[in-house]
């Protein structure tokens, strides 16, 4: 158990609807990351937070995507006006404060299916 939980585990939605996912790391995880994984591919970086500050966003993160970590603990990822191409596994990873020594540990992911 990595201590990183995600909710929901599965989400099925219709095209055009908004969805929100949640990630809960343990308190020692200052850094929190979101990745997206499509079938047969490795995870791709979306964005990351150091405490409550969002420090980097990938070009994959279109304007329809927004992520927050308001209190530096849990994080949410919202997708507005979902498209079929958004169907993927959304993974959250968390790590301690030092990128030179602290490994990223992943949660179980949220599988999104857009119909």
Partner 1 sequence: GESVGLHLPTLSVQEGDNSIINCAYSNSASDYFIWYKQESGKGPQFIIDIRSNMDKRQGQRVTVLLNKTVKHLSLQIAATQPGDSAVYFCAQGAQKLVFGQGTRLTINP
- By the criterion CB under 8 A, which residues form the site for partner 1? 2, 4, 6, 31, 33, 35, 40-45, 48, 56, 58, 91, 93, 99-100, 103-109, 111
Are the CB atoms for 46 and 65 separated by under 8 Å? yes
- Smallest distance from partner 1 to CB 74, Å: 17
The first and second tokens of residue 77, run together, are 């990822």
Residue placing its CB nearer to partner 1 in the complex, 91 or 114: 91
Could you give the CA distance from residue 85 to residue 108 in angstroms, rounded to a whole number?
21
- Smallest distance from partner 1 to CB 80, Å: 23
Could you give the CA distance from residue 79 to residue 19 in angstroms, rounded to a whole number?
5
- Smallest distance from partner 1 to CB 40, Å: 7
């Amino acid at each position: 158990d990595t201590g990183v939980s995600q909710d929901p585990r599965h989400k099925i939605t219709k095209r055009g609807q908004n969805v929100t996912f949640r990630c809960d790391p343990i308190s020692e995880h200052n850094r929190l990351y979101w990745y997206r994984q499509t079938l047969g591919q490795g995870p791709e970086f979306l964005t990351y937070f150091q405490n409550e500050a969002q420090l980097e966003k990938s070009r994959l993160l279109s304007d329809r995507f927004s992520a927050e970590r308001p209190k530096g603990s849990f994080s949410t990822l919202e997708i507005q006006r979902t498209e079929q191409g958004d169907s993927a596994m959304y993974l959250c990873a968390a790590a301690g404060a030092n990128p030179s020594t602290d490994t990223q540990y992943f949660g179980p992911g949220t599988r999104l299916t857009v119909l």
